[in-house]
Amino acid sequence: MTVATALDRLPAPPCAELLGWKLLDARPEEGWVRVGFHARPEFRNPAGAIQGGFLAAMLDDTMGPAVFTHTDGALYTATIDMNVSYLAPAQVGPIYGEGQVVQLGKTVGFVEARLMDGDGRWLAKASASVRLISAQRAL
């Protein structure tokens, strides 16, 4: 179930299009989003799994929108630090991300995300510190 969010007012950036980014659900008041991605064959490493850098990009592109929707488009994020744990190899096909705002301060926020495959198996998780920037200034 997709709900209207501040993201509806922005065009999708090229990086989101490359990852197959699509907002699937959101609870802006709770700072939570669910995002769909499509892991393409070109994202595979030599072992045939999705390369970790693409998964990190998906995690990052889940956490930022959680903040943006939670603040109704007032705040944009710039990642300061992100810790990623890879839990299982990801394969070509749909990947789902869930992002959650943990806490927002005046200039720094804390967010978390996880990625799952179509069977609900956790693929990776991340926590990040983000700089909070006025969206009017950043965009």
Lateral strand order in the sheet of 122-134: 22-27, 32-39, 93-104, 108-116, 122-134, 75-86
What would the two tokens of residue 106 be? Answer: 């005046």
What pLDDT sits at residue 3?
Answer: 81
Q: Residue 7's closest CA among 64, 58, 80? A: 64
What pLDDT sits at residue 2?
Answer: 63
6-138, which class in CATH? alpha beta
Reply yes or no on whether the pLDDT at 1 is more than 60.
no
pLDDT, mean of residues 21-46: 97
Sequence-distant (6+) residues with CB within 8 A of 14 are none
What pLDDT sits at residue 12?
Answer: 86
Delimit the domains of the chain by residue range: 6-138
pLDDT, mean of residues 50-71: 97
